Amino acid sequence: MPGFFGLWILLAVLVGVFASQRGRSGPAFFALSLLLSPLVGFAIAALSNPDREKAGLKKCPDCAEWIQQDAVVCHYCGRKSPREVAGIVIEE
């Protein structure tokens, strides 16, 4: 029986890591996976929309597609992305 519970906890930890990479609360999904099951926790984490701002993305001001924070040019519309330095937006 200890092997079953160890596997259960390991899978719950992996669900928490997966959820945190998608910008969700890793500890909350870990607890959910412990209480219900790792399969249910993974399904909910996979089906939930990722928090893109926590995942390092921003919206292009021109086409509203999600692009990387450090992107210089939007790969969807080709518009140059404005830079923000010390809270001041600089248009290039």
| In the chain, where the domains are located | 2-47, 57-90
Q: Classify burial at 38, counting beta carbons within 10 Å of its beta carbon; exposed 0-12, middle 13-18, buried 19 or more.
A: buried
Helix (H) or strand (E) holding 90: strand 88-90
Task: Find the mean pLDDT for residues 14-23.
Answer: 89
Q: Tell me: pLDDT of 10 over 60.
A: yes
8 Å CB contact between 61 and 71:
no
DSSP symbol at 81: P
Indicate the pLDDT class of residue 34, thresholds 50, 70 and 90. Answer: very high
**pLDDT tens, 36-63?**
999 999 998 888 877 766 667 788 888 8
- pLDDT of amino acid 55: 64
- pLDDT of amino acid 52: 67
CA angle 30, 67, 88 (to 5 degrees): 105
